Amino acid sequence: MKYVVWCAVSLLLVIAQPFSTEAQQVAPDLTVVSVSAPASAGAGDVITVSDTVAASPTGGNAGAFYVSYYLSADSTITTSDTCLGTRYITSLATGASSSGSTTVTLPKNIIGAYYVGAIVDMSGSGGNTSSNRVPESDETNNALAGNQIAVTGADLTVVSVSAPASAGDVITANI
Binding site for Ca ion (CB under 5 A): 29-30, 121, 132, 134, 136, 138-139, 141-142
- Based on CB atoms, which residue is closest to Ca ion, 134 or 144? 134
Judged by CB, which is closer to Ca ion: 89, or 134? 134
Q: How far is the CB of 103 from Ca ion (least distance, A)?
A: 25
Q: How far apart are CA 146 and CA 50, in angstroms?
A: 10
Q: Residue 70 CB, nearest distance to Ca ion (Å)?
A: 16
Per-residue b/e over 12-30, b at no fewer than 16 CB within 10 Å?
eeeeeeeeeeeeeeebbbb
Question: What is each CA distance from 61 to 36, 158, 171, in whole angstroms?
Answer: 26, 57, 73
Q: For residues 74 and 138, which CB has a smaller minimum distance to Ca ion in the complex?
A: 138
165: how many CB neighbours lie within 10 A of its CB? 4
Q: CB 73 → Ca ion: shortest distance, Å?
A: 24
> Which residue number, 10 or 25, has a Cβ lying nearer to Ca ion?
25
| Residue 112 phi, psi dihedral angles, 5° rounding | 120, -165
Which run of H or of E encompasses 2?
A: helix 2-23
Nearest to 35 by CA among 57, 52, 21, 18: 52
Minimum distance from residue 135 beta carbon to Ca ion (Å): 6
CB of 65 to Ca ion, least distance (A): 7
Q: Where does 37-142 show beta strands of DSSP type E?
A: 40-42, 46-55, 65-72, 82-89, 97-105, 112-120
Q: Which is nearer to Ca ion, 98 or 142 (CB)?
A: 142
Q: Which residue is nearest to Ca ion (CB)?
A: 121
Nearest of 4, 7, 55 to residue 31 by alpha carbon: 55
